[in-house]
Structure 1
Amino acid sequence: MAIVFGVVALWFAAGGNGEDAAGRAIGTDFVSFWIASQVALAEGGAAAYDIVAHGIAQRTAFGPGDGYVAFFYPPVFLMLCLPMALLPYFAALGLWLGSTALAYLVMVRHWLGGSFGSAALTLAAFPPTLLNAGHGQNAFLTAALFGGGLIAMRTRPWLAGLLLGLLVMKPHLAILLPLALACRGEWRTFIATGAAAAGWCLLSWAILGTGAWAGFIANTGLARSTLEDGLVAPAKMVSMFAAMRVLSLDVATAYAAQAAFAAVGAAAVIYAARARLPRPAQDAILAAATLTVSPFLLDYDLTLMAIPLAWWFAQTQRRGFLPYEKAALLALFIAPLFLRTLATAASLPLAPLVTAGLLLGCWRAALTASPSRHSRAASAR
């Protein structure tokens, strides 16, 4: 952990003047969020989705830097960013990362057990934590909503729906949620999540206006081109689609591979529900399976790995480690630190192996946690 923090500190110290060693503003992606909220407050919600206006405001505030950082998020997320426009950039960045990191810590501590101090040390050493903080991204928030919603679902389904519904701000992380809730028969949470998602959208429409939603929809084609044409380097991503593109396969083949990988994740979620595995085990499998679904998944989105890893580790504390589990948990824990480098420097896109290994490991741990007839039958199969 000390080595990782030392490298990060040197990276930022080498830049100076609020920039990292590559000449980009510290917080990189948060630049896009902060500028979008500035533009929205000054000129209206629609202007935040005007690529020209957003780009001019970004260059005016930060200079040409390392290129334009686009804003493709739905107006629900822009609505959450609006208060950040009232603060100077670095104050807003600090508030954003501090508040969302606290929510992430509270959520992971529940899954991991133990004290807040031990959970904080664990997350401080978890590479996706540093990746998200370095980018100024929203993965602390999305992981906190995902994990917090699953926790609340056990006793407070309507609160769970409110949290899970807010994932409409980044909907590709919620693709498997309706499937999982339906297969489990969690109909109150299913209805609450749908109603909350609609409510968040309506609230953003009331605050930002129709123009914001029209601009967001108009930019979906550009967002797709960003994925398919490599405007965001595939080596930065951790999806099966990106892995195929790193290996220089065509877009159609990459989509086919992604669909097959997503089908495996969906099948795991369905079978976990049909086998009546313990609910926390089903939640861990759902979180792991979510990382197999979307073709547009960045390495900082692997903050979601903390949920299945924490649940799996907690299982080992109750029953002891199986022979392979210490090595598997350690490898999965540190792997995100090297995925982008291996994909960039050596054209080795190993991220799908990591997410598949996490899903398989949680499945095996779930079977050992459930002595039921269903679990024994599933293990035999």
Structure 2
Amino acid sequence: MGIAFLRDMNWLGANRVRSYLRILALGNIAMIAIVVATSHGGLDANGFLLGTDFISFWTTGQMLHAGGNPYDAAAHISAQRVLYASPGHFTAFFYPPSFLPFCWPLGGLGYFPALGIWLGATGSLFIVALREWRFEAGKAVPFWLALVAYPAMAIVLTHGQTSWLVAALLGTGLLQVRKRPVLAGICLGLATVKPQFGVLVPIALLASREWKVVVVASVTAIALAAFSAVIFGAQVWSDWFAATARAQAAMHDGAVGFGKMVSLFAGLRLLGVSGALASSAQGALSVGVAALVLRTAWNRRWDRGLAALVLAGAPLVTPFVLDYDMVLLAFPILWLAGEGLHHGFWRWEKLTLFTVFAATAFARPLALHVSIPIMPLVLAGFFAAIWSRATERGRVHCET
């Protein structure tokens, strides 16, 4: 046995994989059931509104209907507390004005109907996008079981977050670059509603000379920004730029909670490293990841491996990324699993897949309660595995 037990993981066959997935799926279902069963009057057992973060998007929609400014922090707090008053608790809104058209219809509904429609619509988009990746990778992966078992899915559901929407747009856009460049460009342009996850996209597209996608994505992003300015007033853009300064301060001061974040910056801050040093380390990592993507994509014909590499690198290049954003990794996870099942797993790939799939379930508790940030290492290892497979390096297969 020895190191081969983890290096090759030949003991992890299809039956055991399904057994582990069932355990994780039951854990997710039980967690959601407990949250709902112990809630009272729309509040969970800890006194938080069901959907937690969604109140920020819903409140923004309410303010837009009333002609308010969603980037006025004091006004946003007051508007939130009309529905839900919690001393010392406030869910901030730092999304760019491009996201306002998505929030506006939510304000025309009650909170819980809007939450249900939001989760249903964005979740459906995410599943459709992921199924496209499944069809490309083959049907050997237990898709629905893995979907229910993936811990990040439950976190998005309980937080009412935007992660399904952004992941669906990026996953669809990057998969369709060659087949449907116009659709790809539209999806990638719309994904600018959460711009920190698109940093690697233009680098890879420009390096691989996918000019049509670049043009369509740029036009879509500009059109969405202009539409927001026309509908809600050009002032919203200057208001947002002012709000980004508060967002930066909140991130550096740990207002979000370093234990909830999964970036290298947050991990180092959690360990007591100074803000300046943590920012420098994050910057170096971001540049390194971008350089590898650039080198891999340079003059290369776009393929699913390159798309998976961009998605795997997305959480590494931004300091502001949380555990619910890990649904974005479902696409490269599915791709790497499909590659292994059809062409044989390379050394350490099974361990990497096992770790990155399950890690989100443990990342926040470990970080919050014992100050151990595991996700930066997990994300770096996963990116390395995707890069190795995408560039056809590390061709040593597991022993059979």
Instruction: Tell whether the 8 Å contact from 1:104 to 1:141 is kept in structure 2 after alignment.
Output: yes
Q: How far 1:258 sits from its partner (Å)?
A: 0.2
SS at 2:316 equivalent: coil
Q: Provide closer, same or farther for how the CA distance between residues 232 and 307 of structure 1 changes in structure 2, counting only shifts above 3 A.
A: same
SS at 2:289 equivalent: helix
Instruction: Tell whether the 8 Å contact from 2:208 to 2:301 is kept in structure 1 after alignment.
Output: no
Whose relative contact order is higher, 1 or 2, with alpha carbons under 8 Å and at least 6 apart?
2
Q: Does 1:279 align with 2:303?
A: yes
- Give the match for residue 38 of structure 2: 14
Which of 361, 371, 379 is the aligned partner of 2:385?
361
Q: Which amino acid aligns with 1:246?
A: L
- Give the match for residue 78 of structure 1: 100
Which of 80, 90, 102 is the aligned partner of 1:58?
80
Q: Distance in 2 between matches of 1:163 and 1:278?
A: 17
Q: Which runs of 5+ in 2 are unaligned?
A: 1-24, 396-400
Instruction: Tell whether the 8 Å contact from 1:112 to 1:119 is kept in structure 2 after alignment.
Output: yes
- Give the match for residue 110 of structure 1: 132
Pairwise mapping of residues 43-192 of structure 1 onto structure 2 (< 5 A)?
A: 43-44=67-68, 47-64=69-86, 67-113=89-135, 118-192=142-216
- Give the match for residue 327 of structure 1: 351
Q: Distance in 2 between matches of 1:118 and 1:321?
A: 17
Q: Deviations over 1:341-373 (max 9, x none)?
A: 1111111111111111111111222244xxxxx
SS at 1:222 equivalent: helix
Instruction: Tell whether the 8 Å contact from 1:308 to 1:358 is kept in structure 2 after alignment.
Output: no
Q: How far 1:202 sits from its partner (Å)?
A: 0.5
Q: How far 1:331 sits from its partner (Å)?
A: 1.6
SS at 1:25 equivalent: coil
- Give the match for residue 288 of structure 2: 264
Pairwise mapping of residues 165-314 of structure 1 onto structure 2 (< 5 A)?
A: 165-274=189-298, 276=300, 279-314=303-338
Q: Which runs of 4+ in 1 moved over 4 A?
A: 114-118
Q: Which amino acid aligns with 2:186?
A: L
Instruction: Tell whether the 8 Å contact from 2:189 to 2:218 is kept in structure 1 after alignment.
Output: yes
Q: Distance in 1 between matches of 2:349 and 2:279?
A: 32
Q: Which runs of 5+ in 1 are unaligned?
A: 369-374
Q: Distance in 2 between matches of 1:81 and 1:322?
A: 44
Q: Distance in 1 between matches of 2:279 and 2:181?
A: 35
Q: Distance in 2 between matches of 1:26 and 1:247?
A: 31
Q: Provide closer, same or farther for how the CA distance between residues 361 and 376 of structure 1 changes in structure 2, counting only shifts above 3 A.
A: closer
Instruction: Tell whether the 8 Å contact from 1:25 to 1:65 is kept in structure 2 after alignment.
Output: no
What RMSD over aligned residues (CA atoms) do the two structures have, in Å? 2.1
Q: Distance in 2 between matches of 1:316 and 1:107?
A: 21
Q: Which amino acid aligns with 1:128?
A: A
- Give the match for residue 372 of structure 1: none
Q: Provide closer, same or farther for how the CA distance between residues 117 and 309 of structure 1 changes in structure 2, counting only shifts above 3 A.
A: closer
Q: Which amino acid aligns with 2:102?
A: L
Q: Distance in 1 between matches of 2:330 and 2:231?
A: 34
Q: Which amino acid aligns with 2:211?
A: W
Q: How far 1:14 sits from its partner (Å)?
A: 2.1
Greater shift after overlay, 321-330 or 230-239?
321-330
Q: Which amino acid aligns with 1:247?
A: L
Q: Deviations over 1:160-213 (max 9, x none)?
A: 111101122111111111111111111111111111111110011111112322
- Normalised to the residue count of structure 2, the TM-score between the two structures is 0.88
Q: Distance in 1 between matches of 2:194 and 2:349?
A: 32
Q: Distance in 1 between matches of 2:260 and 2:202?
A: 28
Q: How far 1:120 sits from its partner (Å)?
A: 3.2
Instruction: Tell whether the 8 Å contact from 2:98 to 2:225 is kept in structure 1 after alignment.
Output: yes
Q: How far 1:52 sits from its partner (Å)?
A: 1.4
Greater shift after overlay, 158-167 or 32-41?
158-167
Instruction: Tell whether the 8 Å contact from 2:177 to 2:302 is kept in structure 1 after alignment.
Output: no
Q: How far 1:34 sits from its partner (Å)?
A: 0.2
Q: Provide closer, same or farther for how the CA distance between residues 334 and 65 of structure 1 changes in structure 2, counting only shifts above 3 A.
A: farther
Q: How far 1:74 sits from its partner (Å)?
A: 0.9
Q: How far 1:274 sits from its partner (Å)?
A: 3.4
Work out the percentage of aligned pairs sharing the same amino acid: 38
Q: Which amino acid aligns with 1:271?
A: R
Instruction: Tell whether the 8 Å contact from 1:277 to 1:366 is kept in structure 2 after alignment.
Output: no
Q: Which amino acid aligns with 1:77?
A: F
Q: How far 1:66 sits from its partner (Å)?
A: 6.2
Q: Distance in 1 between matches of 2:170 and 2:210?
A: 16
Q: Distance in 1 between matches of 2:26 and 2:187?
A: 34
